[in-house]
Amino acid sequence: MKPCVTPLSFSTGMAAALLITGCATDYSQRPHAAAVAGPPGAVPTDMFCEASTSEISIPVGNTFAEGEQVRDFYSGRMARVQNGQVTLKPADGAEGLVLLEPAEDSIGQFKWAGATVYFAVTDRFANGRTDNDLNYGRQRDGKDEIGTFHGGDRGDFRHYGYHGYYALDFTVPDANFGTREEFRTLVDEAHKRDIRVVMDVVMNHPGYSTLQDMQTFGFGSLYNGFEKHLPDQWGQWQPESWENNHAYHAFIDYDHSDWRHWWGKDWVRAGIADYDTPPNASIDAQRGSLAFLPDFKTESDQAVNLPLFLQNKSSSRAEAMADATVRDYLVSWLTSWVRDFGVDGFRVDTAKHVEPEAWNELKQQAQQALNDYRAANPDAALPAEEFWMVAEVFPHSVRRSGYFDAGFDAVINFDLQEEARAGAKCLAAMESVYQDYASRMHGETPFNVLSYISSHDTNLFSRIAGDDPVLQKRAAAALLLTPGAVQIFYGDETGRPFGATGSDPHQGTRSDMNWADLEQPETANILGHWQALGQFRDRHPAVGAGTHKLISQQPYTFSRTHGDDRIIVAFARK
């Protein structure tokens, strides 16, 4: 598959160092379309439509002209429009789909409005180098490796910031992910393949303090005499048999004045020492604390000094800035990845927990940084001219909210996940969804959303589908034919199974990419279907960015048009 956009979930942190049911049903027990009563053409959301491989007549409306030759992208078969329709047989393995495009070989120009985002949690996606698996005193847990980095602690399992949302230093990559030059290579090679790179960024909070960072950078303090209870490398501390992984907090004096050597009270609200105590996030979303994480004072207009630990951290690229606020520093650090490497966009985590003015500033500075990179690298392969920002705002739906006035080009849509299960059973069940999404987004004031069927913070579609390989395969059409931008969470295309969880079910959604399963014919079949639909979507921005029009209920047929780009999708069911 050639995704148009690749979010790398790349962490810029260190301590917390790097960076989102159902039951299987026997195939023979699924009802046929004719067995379900309802209005003509209606498809109940709990119905399974058995795909047809027989020849069908597909009406084309006014999308293709009489006598025009068209091609089914899936099978490569040609047909000519006669009497307003074409007659074709769905390809074997196409799950009843016919993907019609003009016969002449034309590829539409990429549009962010129809982008396909491939979201990879870097640590779980692939281990390119095993020699950098353990850094900063991290250890394996020797058990299920639920929250370790595959290499800080959490409850009943060791937990590091492998996902990237617990940053310590925003200016350098986590050593587990590699070096700056390796990141440059990744971005350059992606650009050569016309793939845009979107970084997952956080401006609401840094990571938790950890024993190892306290020792390494000299911030915070233990109670007198408690150092003898720790190993030489504090990060190698292990709880006793009667303790859990939170027990180390008993060693730490959170009221000690040496916490000024950490971020400092001018930078964050943390409720320790002389730091301000943040309010509950449910009461004050922008100044509250999420999961007890320190909350950056991005709203403050007070000039701050570079935190002491960063001044003394030899590997940091952070430099003191004159008369700079917390927001100024964070914006500068984040946009440096754009200016230095040509990153094309940001997926902004916890967007509702930061004031809109900060996001507007980040967007403006990121665009300027991309302009600067393009000017400094005129010969580089650079697919993007406009910097793209998408907001993660739980539980946002398909609507134009104030986030679009705060610099965001799109907001993540949390609604499609459940709707897609019905679409995987029978694509025709998606018509009301497709029509609703398209009419909303292409209204008087256009906007865009990023829809998904799996994420690191909710569920895996493989679980929603009850680990049914047929539904996992068919989910490709439900997702990739959705209007707007769409996100493939790594392993959606291979039926990646749920992983070990401990006490936190979200951990299971971040299991290792199931590369070995690709050798199995069933998984290869699922992947091939996703690849075909992904390539069709990539060729035709109209799929995501175009106007949606229902042509027929049986066979279920619709068109998408965007400028000169035009396609028709038909689903043949028995």
- Residues annotated as part of the active site: 349, 392
Q: How many CB atoms lie within 10 A of CB 85?
A: 18
Q: How far apart are CA 301 and CA 318, in angstroms?
A: 20
Which residue's structure tokens are 């580089």?
380
Q: How far apart are CA 142 and CA 236, in angstroms?
A: 13
Whether 318 and 171 have beta carbons less than 8 Å apart is answered as yes
State the maximum Cα–Cα separation within the chain, in Å, rounded to a whole number. 89
Which residue's structure tokens are 């692939």?
126
Q: How far apart are CA 197 and CA 213, in angstroms?
A: 30
CA 448 to chain centre: 15
Q: How far apart are CA 453 and CA 465, in angstroms?
A: 11
Whether 558 and 569 have beta carbons less than 8 Å apart is answered as yes
Secondary structure of residue 34 in the 3-state scheme? helix
- For the record, the structure tokens of 369 come out as 């940084």
Which residues 6+ apart lie within 8 Å of 68 measured at CB?
A: 80, 81, 102, 103
Please give the angle made by the CA atoms of 480, 484 and 488, to the nearest 5 degrees.
40
Which residue's structure tokens are 């950098």?
132
Q: How many CB atoms lie within 10 A of CB 89?
A: 17
What are the Cα distances from residue 215, in Å, to 67, 86, 170, 245, 347? 76, 71, 20, 18, 33
Beta bridge partners of 556: 553, 571
Q: How far apart are CA 463 and CA 485, in angstroms?
A: 23
Beta bridge partners of 463: none
Whether 293 and 206 have beta carbons less than 8 Å apart is answered as yes
Residue type, 399: R
CA torsion 553-556-562-566 (nearest 10°) is: -120
What are the Cα distances from residue 560, in Å, to 291, 462, 546? 43, 28, 5
Which of these, 391, 203, 204, lies nearest to 284 by C-alpha position? 204
Beta bridge partners of 289: 280
Secondary structure of residue 556 in the 3-state scheme? strand
What are the Cα distances from residue 119, in Å, to 299, 390, 489? 30, 13, 5
> Positive or negative CA dihedral for 20, 25, 28, 33?
negative
Q: How far apart are CA 82 and CA 550, in angstroms?
A: 20
- For the record, the structure tokens of 327 come out as 């927001």
Q: How far apart are CA 527 and CA 543, in angstroms?
A: 20
Beta bridge partners of 176: none
